[in-house]
């Protein structure tokens, strides 16, 4: 029985049809997407622009605008000069940078090694996973955590801002799931060539896992940079305050009280000082993301090659 050529052509066209998400959108749908994404971008950009503009505005324009400025007519850096000439701001930036960099590196090391070890077929993997998942349901209490850090002598220490956050169960679960999807043939071939577990991890698994490492690293970095509650609980020495504690003092206590407490000369409008602290706390983490975005793309392309 001979199959008509028209039937064969229809079947070939149906089998070769691209997925829906790869098809070119219609002009109407493309216009809707453009308008929606444009409005979404505006909703994000305008608050950031208001914060930056307010930090650069003078007192007269702030009074006329009611406290918030969309665009400064006479921009001034007086608020930033007042903050950066204070004795604690540079120390706070140094503390936050140290906590973020060191904490992220330690957290990535702990998470990567635990995720890789439990992704292999070993006897101790299941109890470890159960214990980690248990922490997702039952977080440690505030008082036991404080008593433990006091017993360890970590109060008024920068390590009290790092050690409590070096492991997150959610990041562990995400990274372990990614490691388990790596082709087992690659690991088995490396084992046949005599590679150790450390060599397999650092030379095979991690180069294929740049995407998840970048994502988890960004999660940890943002968490360490934005964390202020641990400093509020464990740090009494002002010299060890991170930037977020200074930002909290300006937002909650008011610019005049916070400036007096931090030794900052108030030569700028209080609202400008408050917004300047927000900008200083926001800029470093915003500068970090473009570098990680490059690794996101490279990691996804590399990790997508399956043997």
Please name the residues in contact with 71: beta carbons below 8 A apart, sequence gap of 6 or more: 49, 53
User: What pLDDT was estimated at residue 107?
Assistant: 94
Ranges of each domain in the chain: 26-76, 82-303
Supply φ then ψ for residue 210, to 5 degrees: -60, -35
User: What pLDDT was estimated at residue 273?
Assistant: 79
Q: Locate 113 and state its tokens.
A: 């090694």
Average pLDDT across each block of 10 residues of the chain; the chain has 307 residues. List them in order: 54 53 72 89 89 83 77 81 77 89 93 85 64 71 84 88 87 85 82 82 85 86 88 86 83 60 59 82 80 59 45
CB atoms < 10 A from the CB of 255, how many?
A: 24
Encode 122-145: b = buried (16+ Cβ within 10 Å), e = exposed.
eeeeeeebeebeeeeeeeeeeeeb
Instruction: Provide the CATH topology of domain 82-303.
Output: MetI-like fold (1.10.3720)
Closest CA to 178 of 216, 218, 142: 216
User: What pLDDT was estimated at residue 23?
Assistant: 64
> Using CA atoms, how far apart are residues 87 and 229, in angstroms rounded to an integer?
22
For residue 189, the SS3 value is helix
pTM of the model: 0.76
CB atoms < 10 A from the CB of 23, how many?
A: 9
């Amino acid at each position: 029985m001979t199959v008509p050529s028209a039937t064969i052509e229809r079947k070939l066209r149906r089998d070769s049809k691209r997925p829906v998400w790869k098809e070119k959108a219609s002009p109407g749908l493309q216009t809707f997407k453009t308008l929606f994404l444009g409005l979404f971008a505006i909703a994000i950009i305008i608050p950031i622009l208001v914060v930056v503009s307010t930090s650069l505005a003078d007192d007269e324009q702030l009074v006329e605008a009611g406290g918030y400025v969309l665009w400064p007519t006479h921009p001034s850096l007086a608020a930033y000069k007042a903050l950066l000439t204070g004795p604690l701001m540079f120390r706070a930036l140094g503390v936050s940078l140290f906590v973020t960099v060191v904490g992220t590196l330690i957290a990535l090391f702990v998470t990567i090694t635990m995720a890789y070890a439990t992704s292999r077929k070993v006897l101790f993997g299941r109890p470890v996973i159960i214990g980690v998942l248990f922490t997702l349901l039952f977080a440690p209490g505030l008082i036991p955590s404080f008593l433990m850090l006091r017993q360890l002598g970590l109060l008024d220490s920068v390590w009290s801002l790092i050690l409590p956050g070096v492991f997150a169960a959610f990041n562990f679960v995400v990274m372990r799931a990614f490691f388990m999807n790596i082709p087992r043939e690659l690991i088995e071939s490396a084992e046949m060539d005599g590679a150790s577990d450390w060599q397999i991890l650092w030379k095979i698994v991690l180069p294929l896992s740049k995407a998840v490492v970048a994502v988890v690293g960004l999660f940890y970095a943002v968490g360490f940079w934005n964390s202020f509650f641990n400093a509020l609980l464990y740090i009494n020495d002002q010299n060890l305050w991170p930037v977020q504690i200074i930002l909290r003092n300006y937002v909650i206590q008011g610019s005049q009280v916070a400036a007096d407490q931090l030794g900052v000369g108030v030569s700028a409008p209080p609202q400008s000082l408050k917004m300047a602290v927000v900008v200083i706390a926001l800029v470093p983490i915003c500068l970090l993301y473009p570098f990680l975005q490059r690794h996101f793309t490279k990691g996804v392309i590399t990790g997508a090659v399956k043997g």
